[in-house]
Amino acid sequence: MGIGLNKFDLAMQYTGKASGGDGSDNYRKVTTAMAKKAIADAQDAQVTYMRIAITGFAPSAYNRPSDLSSWISDPQTYWSHMDDMMNDLDKANIQGIFTFFWNIHQFPAMVNETAHDLLTNPNSQSYRLAQRYMTQFIERYKGRKTILFYEISNELNNLADLDNVARCKTESANELCAPKANFTTDEMIEFTRNVAHTIHQLDTTHPISSGFSIPRPAAEHMRTAPEWLTGKTDFKSDSAAQFKKNLEDVNAHSDIISVHLYNNTNNVRFGQRNVTDLLTLTKQYADAIGKPLFVGEFGDTSFQANPDAYTIQMMDRITALNIPYSAMWVWELYQKNTYQPHATKNDAYSLEPGIANDLIGALRKTNNGINPQPSSKRDTTPPHVVITSPLECALLSGETPIYVSASDNSNTINRIEFYLDKQRVSTTNTYPYVIKLNPDQVSTGTHTLEVRAFDSTENMASDSSRIRVGSAHSTCLTQ
């Protein structure tokens, strides 16, 4: 299968909810174009599968906007957007790993319940709501080649046996604490049993991953003494045997064992030299348990591609161990808005052409070594380009930056040309691709902004957007 990518926000991009979006048509036009570019860029890196938060993330508090709001209010339109996503993935020959409970507080927050209700009561409103979504999604798409496998959660095991309620009151805003709850590892395991049963009743063909992270260093010790029951849990490090027991127990109802593995001291264990040694041990245990291993997340913020770089070492070890599934964290994630990469700590790991060309080249080389692809003698593939800001029909007031995201299968963008009403106003060949436009030099009304991206062999692609100059009450006219 090669090495895949985490594209956490792909579904949200198709509904206009990614990058701070409100779901409006103007926002969705940009985020959908960014999604299509991300898929094309992944195909250029010879990636064949992505891990996707299909339900999104929000809300995490009561009475907050939901990433599934259009599924509730206008399901026909919502599923049309999901169909578009599936079709685009199919065209690129990319499959999806679809995670249903990325944020365990999402469904409880939508119905004013807690995570404990969702985890322990299959008749709760939150579980029934999630079950309704899973049923509709699986029934609609289970026959498509797009599905690689389903996934239950994202790192849910990191919350088990901790006093999440008390910790929230000291670490987060009060409104975020209401849906939170304490739960044991055994309650979590029972939840995975219920979800796996729901999924397998609907689809007996595709496997299921737990979505869990690597077991905590003290996971089994904590399991015997949950923090909220004892006041102080046992953080003594587990033995290798306890590590294996936890790995097997928490993945008991999954077809695929999931771990997330980052380069930190907690993941250097049992007298080993480095984190990749823990991966080797985990693969040995997964083989002994008799289930395939999925390294659902790994990555670094440096984007280095030298032999000593963590991400390179992980790719090499994954390949050497013949681990069937793995996904780098994270692909073209714009958390705050549509135009600022690495604007928050959550998207600090975000990989994209222009920022991480060497690492992406190493990913392409690794995947080509696993699944060799024929090379073309002549490059006829145009670049990928999107105007990421301003949004469609935005009113310009004062000098306004025009942001462009562009990439090419050759890793080289020769230049970006900017046009206003078909007149070239600027050119740049420097990443990030941005110029400033002064509306005082433009007549009042609706104007067409166009950008053209050229690669090293003069293949060209373009994108356009309408902008307004003048009154805030002016109409955005069709050009």
Q: Which value, to the nearest 10 degrees, does the dihedral of the CA atoms of residues 56, 58, 59, 63 take?
A: -100
What is the average pLDDT score of the chain?
96
- Of 314, 339, 370, the residue that ends a domain is 370
Examine the domain organization and report whether 306 and 210 are in the same domain.
yes
Examine the domain organization and report whether 396 and 355 are in the same domain.
no
HSE toward the beta carbon, residue 4, CA cutoff 13 A: 24
Range of the domain at 455: 384-469
Domain-embedded: residue 478: no
Helices (H), 290-382: 310-320, 357-370
Domain-embedded: residue 479: no
* Pairing, β 208-209 against β 384-389: unpaired
Examine the domain organization and report whether 292 and 396 are in the same domain.
no
Examine the domain organization and report whether 180 and 285 are in the same domain.
yes
- The first and second tokens of residue 245, run together, are 């027991």
Give the pLDDT confidence score for residue 479 in this predicted structure: 57
Angle at alpha carbon of residue 64, lines to 115 and 162, rounded to 5°: 25
Give the pLDDT confidence score for residue 45 in this predicted structure: 96
Q: What is the CATH number of the domain that holds 398?
A: 2.60.40.10
Domain-embedded: residue 377: no
Examine the domain organization and report whether 157 and 306 are in the same domain.
yes
Question: Do residues 395 and 371 lie in contact, with contact meaning Cβ atoms separated by under 8 Å?
Answer: no
Examine the domain organization and report whether 11 and 70 are in the same domain.
yes
Give the pLDDT confidence score for residue 138 in this predicted structure: 99
Q: Which parts of the chain have pLDDT scores under 70?
A: 479
In sequence order, the 6+-apart residues with CB closer than 8 A to the CB of 349 are: 299, 300, 301, 329, 330, 333
- Of 347, 370, 393, the residue that ends a domain is 370
Domain-embedded: residue 375: no
Examine the domain organization and report whether 42 and 75 are in the same domain.
yes
**Cα 196 to Cα 194: distance, rounded to the nearest angstrom:** 6
Domain-embedded: residue 27: yes
- Per residue in 150-162, pLDDT tens? 999 999 999 999 9
Give the pLDDT confidence score for residue 397 in this predicted structure: 86
- Of 370, 393, 427, the residue that ends a domain is 370
Give the pLDDT confidence score for residue 374 in this predicted structure: 80
**Cα 77 to Cα 477: distance, rounded to the nearest angstrom:** 25
Q: What is the CATH number of the domain that holds 49?
A: 3.20.20.80
Examine the domain organization and report whether 438 and 365 are in the same domain.
no
**Cα 366 to Cα 449: distance, rounded to the nearest angstrom:** 39
Domain-embedded: residue 475: no
Examine the domain organization and report whether 328 and 454 are in the same domain.
no
Number of separate domains in the chain:
2
- Per residue in 405-445, pLDDT tens? 999 998 899 999 999 999 999 999 999 999 999 988 899 99
Give the pLDDT confidence score for residue 377 in this predicted structure: 73
Question: Which uninterrupted H or E stretch holds 477?
Answer: none
Domain-embedded: residue 15: yes
Examine the domain organization and report whether 176 and 244 are in the same domain.
yes
Domain-embedded: residue 402: yes
Examine the domain organization and report whether 415 and 281 are in the same domain.
no
Examine the domain organization and report whether 361 and 410 are in the same domain.
no
